[in-house]
Amino acid sequence: MKKDIILCGVGGDGIVSVAKIISDAALNLGMNVKQSEIHGMSQRGGSVFSHLRISSEPIFADVIPEGKADIILSSEPMEALRYLPFLAPDGVVITNSDPFVNIKNYPDIEKVNAELAKLKKCVSFNANAIAKEINARGNMVLLGAAAPYLEIEFDELEKAIKAIFGRKGDAVVETNIKAIRAGRDAK
Amino acid sequence: MSKLLLLGDEAIAQAFIDAGGSAINSYPGTPSTQITEYVIKSKEAAQQGIRANWCANEKTALEASIGVAYAGKRAMTCMKHVGLNVCGDPFMNAAIIGTKGVIIVVADDPSMFSSQDEQDSRFYGHWAMIPMLEPSNQQEAYDMVFYGYELSEKMGTPILMRIPTRLAHSRAGVERRQPLPQNPISYPTDPKSFVLLPVNAKRLYRDLIDKQPKFEESSETSGYNQYIPGTDKSRGIVTTGIAYNYLLENFPGGKCPYPVVKITQYPLPTAMLSKLYDECDEILVLEDGQPFVEEQIKGCLGKGKPVHGRLDEVIRRDGELNAEKVAKALGMAVANGPAVPEVVTNRPPALCQGCPHIDSYEALIDVMKKYEHGRVFGDIGCYTLGFNMGAINTTVCMGASITMAKGAAEMGIFPSVAVIGDGTFGHSGMTGLLDCINEKANVVVMILDNDITAMTGGQPSSANMKLFNICKGLGVDPDHIRHVVPLKKNYDEFVKILEEEIAYDGVSVIIPQRVCIVENKKRVAAKNK
C-alpha cells in the first residue's frame, strides 16, 4: 500500500497536525513514513503545504513528484487548486469549501468552485461550518472526510489522536475525535 | 527500540543527546532551529545536565562550542547557511586548531524558502579543509552524529554537517542507539594548541594539511560513501546527500541501472569517483545545492568525458533539486498533473492580523510620505514582510539596517531610518549603533521590540528587557531613546515621536514595544492551562 498526500492551506490553520496524525497512525501500522513541511517566513499567513508519503515499501524522496499525488487535502478551496500539478490522473481532491480571504485580490469564489467542479474526483464541503457546531477545528473534520481514501482503519486514526493530544487532556481528545467522525459522516 | 517519527533536525538533536553531547550553543535560523529547540525541550537532556543555549549570534555560539571542546566535552553549534558567514572567523580557526569533539550543523536553504540566498556550506568546509558529512536521510543524520564525534576526536578536527531544508524539515522513522556517557572534563595536552600566535598557527596549519590524506582515507573506507554497481555504463551518476533519494525515486523499487557513487562524506572519495569515471561514458552529478562536487570533477578546463549537472544546466542552476529535475536530466518522461487554473492568485506570506509591526509601519509610512528622498533601511525578521506594505527599501543581512542607514545618511540621504527587530539588534545591531554614535550619524533607528525572536517560532531574544540600557550605554542621548506602544489608539503619538526624532540631528532610537501576537496567544494559552 502506498499513499502520497499533499496537505495544503494557509499558514497557521493547523494542516501540519493533520499530517502528524496520519503519520503516527501509519508508523503504528509498521509502515514507512516521510512527511515534509515548511517553517519560517513562508508560514506567516501565506500559502503552506506539507508532503506526506506513507507506504509499506521503502520511500525514497521526501517530496512527492508532480503528477503522483493520490490525495490533495486542502483546508482552503483556492489552495487546493494551487497544488493541482501534483495530482495523479486518478487522484482525489478533498477540500474545505470555505474561502480564507486574507488578500485583496482573492478571486470570485464561484470561479474557484467551477474549477474544482471540473476535476474528476473532488470532495468539497464546508468543514468549518461543521467544526463550528461542535466547537472543533476544520482541519480535523477534513481529516475525517479523507479517512476513506487513506486506506487506514478509522480506529487507527482515533488511536493516533489519543496519542498526540493525550497530554492536552481528555476534552481535547474527545473534541478531535468527534470532529473526524463528523467529517467522515459529512456528505 | 521502536522508531521515533522525527524531523531531520530532531534526529540530529536526539543523536546529540544520545552520543554523549554536553553542550549545544546556537542561534536560531530556518531551517536549523528545531535542532537546538528539541534539546532545550528534552527532559532527558535536562536530566543529564546537558547545556542547551540560544546565544546572541552564530559567532558567540560557535566560540562557546570551542570552549566546550577545550574542556574535552562534546559540543554542537547549529545555524542556517548565512549564519556560517557570521561565524566565519571562529569556523576557519577552529579548523586550524584541530578542535576535537565539535560538530557544526549548517542547514542550507536551496530554493530560498525562508532565506536571502542559496549559498552552499560545503564550500566553507572545503575552504576550512575539514571533513564534512551530508546525510541522505533522517536515520543517517542520526547515525552520522555518532560517527562525526568519533571522527572528530580521532582525527583532531571539527566536523561540518550540512543538511538542506528538505532533510531538516521532513519527518521519518528513526531508530535510536544505546546512549553514550558524556566525556569527563579534560584539558588540552599541548598548551600551545589553542594559542593561534603566528608561530603556533604555522605549525597547526601544517598539521591540518598533513591530516588531509587521513580525511580522504576515511571518506573511502567509512562505509558512508558507496560505489553502487550498475549494468548500464553509458552513464555514471554521482549523488550527494538527499539527491540519492531523488535518483531512486525515478526507478521502480529504487533499482537504478547506472553505476552510482553515493556521497555523504567529504573530502571526496577520489578512488570511487575515478572508478566510475573510467568505466562510464559520461557522468551526471546530482546535488541539492550549488555545483560543489561537479566543479571538482569537471575542473576548470572541462576536458575529458562529459560531466553534466548544474554547470551546463542539464539541471537548472538555481533552486532545490527534485525527482522531476533528475528525471529530465536522465531523459525520462515526467508526469504532470492538471495545470494551476488561472483563477488562482498568489498568497504571499504576510504579517499576522494584530501584529505590532503593522502599527509601527502604518505610522512610519505616513511620516515618510512627507519626505520624497527619505529611505527606510530594513533588516531580517518578520518585519521584512513590511516590504509588501511599501514600508522598507532594503533588506540585505542581519544588522545591515543600522549600518546602511549610517552610510546613506553620511552621503546625504535624509531622513535615513533603520528598522530592526529586538532579536536582530541583539544579534548584530549593537555594534552598528556604536558606529553611528561615534560618527554622530543623523539616523533614526527603530527597534521593533516584540519581546521574542518571532520569525523562527519564538525563541528568547538576547537583548530582551535590556534595549534602553544598551542604547544608553552605547552613548545614545537618553532624551532621544523613545518608547511607544504600537496600537491604533497611539497612532498620533507615534507620528509625533517620529517627526521629532527625524528633526533631531543625531542618533535617535525609537522602541515600539508590544509582544508578538502569536507569542501572546501562546502565553495566554499557557496561563489558562
Cα-to-chain-centroid distance, residue B27: 9
Determine the Cα–Cα distance for residues B76 and B94; give it in Å rounded to an integer.
13
Q: What pLDDT, on the 0 to 100 scale, is given for residue B462?
A: 95
> Torsion-angle region of residue B156: left (phi > 0), alpha (psi -120 to 50) or beta?
left
Q: Do B334 and A67 touch (CB under 8 A)?
A: yes
Least confident of A7-11, B148-152, B261-265: A7-11
Nearest CA in chain B to A33: B172
Summarised one tens digit per residue, pLDDT across range B179-229 is 999 999 999 999 999 999 999 999 999 999 999 999 999 999 999 999 999
Which residues of chain A are within 8 Å of residue B169 when distances are taken between CB atoms? 36-39
Does pLDDT of B318 surpass 70? yes
A9 lies in which domain range?
A: 2-98+116-186
A171 Cβ contact list (under 8 Å, min separation 6) = none
Residue B236 above 80 pLDDT? yes
Amino acid (1-letter code) at residue B16: F
Percent of chain A with pLDDT strictly greater than 70: 96
**Per-residue confidence (pLDDT) for residue B156, from 0 to 100:** 97
User: Does some domain include residue A104?
Assistant: no
Mean pLDDT of A147-169: 94
Asked if the C-beta of A141 comes within 8 angstroms of chain B's C-beta atoms, the answer is: no
What is the C-alpha separation between A79 and A124, in angstroms, rounded?
A: 12
- Set of chain A residues whose Cβ sits within 8 Å of the Cβ of B256: none
For A44, the closest of B334, B335, B385 (CB atoms) is: B385
Q: Is the model's pTM score more than 0.90?
A: yes
Helix (H, G, I), strand (E, B) or coil at B393: coil
The residues, ordered by sequence, that sit 6+ positions from B505 with a Cβ below 8 Å of its Cβ are B442
**CA–CA separation, A100 and A75 (whole Å):** 9
Q: Is the pLDDT of residue A82 over 70?
A: yes
A73 falls within a domain: yes
Confidence of residue B1 (pLDDT cuts 50, 70, 90): low
Interface of B with A in 25-44 (CB under 8 A): 30-31, 33-34
Closest in B31, B242, B337 to A40, CB measured = B31
> What pLDDT score was predicted for residue A42?
56
Listed by number, the residues of chain B in 444-473 with a beta carbon closer than 8 Å to a beta carbon of chain A are 455-457
Task: Name the percent of chain B in helix, strand, coil, to the closest 5.
Answer: 45, 15, 40
3-state secondary structure of B98: coil
* Chain-chain contact of A82 with B340 (C-beta, under 8 angstroms): yes
Contact B172 A103 (CB under 8 A): no
Looking at domain B3-221, its CATH architecture is 3-Layer(aba) Sandwich (3.40)
| pLDDT band of A40, cuts 50, 70, 90 | low
Residue A12 maps to a domain: yes
CATH of the domain at A54: 3.40.920.10
Question: Contact at 8 Å (CB) between B33 and B12?
Answer: no
Say if domain B226-329 classifies as CATH 3.40.50.2300: no
Name the DSSP letter for residue A11. Answer: T
pLDDT of residue B68: 98
Looking at the predicted structure, is the pLDDT value of residue B370 above 90?
Answer: yes
Predicted pLDDT at A108: 97
- Going by their DSSP bridges, the two strands B132-133 and B265-266 should be labelled as antiparallel
B335 vs A contacts (CB less than 8 Å): 65-68, 88
Mean of pLDDT values over B373-378: 98
Give the pLDDT confidence score for residue B467 in this predicted structure.
Answer: 98
Q: What percent of chain B is modeled with pLDDT above 90?
A: 96
Question: Which value does ipTM take for this structure?
Answer: 0.93
pLDDT tens digits along B269-290: 999 999 999 999 999 999 999 9
Q: What is the model's pLDDT at position B3?
A: 86
Beta-carbon contacts of B79 under 8 Å, excluding residues fewer than 6 positions away, are B26, B27, B29, B32, B58, B61, B86, B87, B104, B105, B106, B107
- DSSP H or E segment with residue B517: helix B517-528
Query: Which residues of chain B are within 8 Å of residue A4 when distances are taken between CB atoms?
Result: none
B391 touches chain A (CB under 8 A): no
Domain definitions of chain B by residue range: 3-221, 226-329, 356-521
Q: Does domain B356-521 have CATH number 3.40.50.800?
A: no
The whole-number pLDDT of residue A43 equals 61
Domain total for chain A?
1
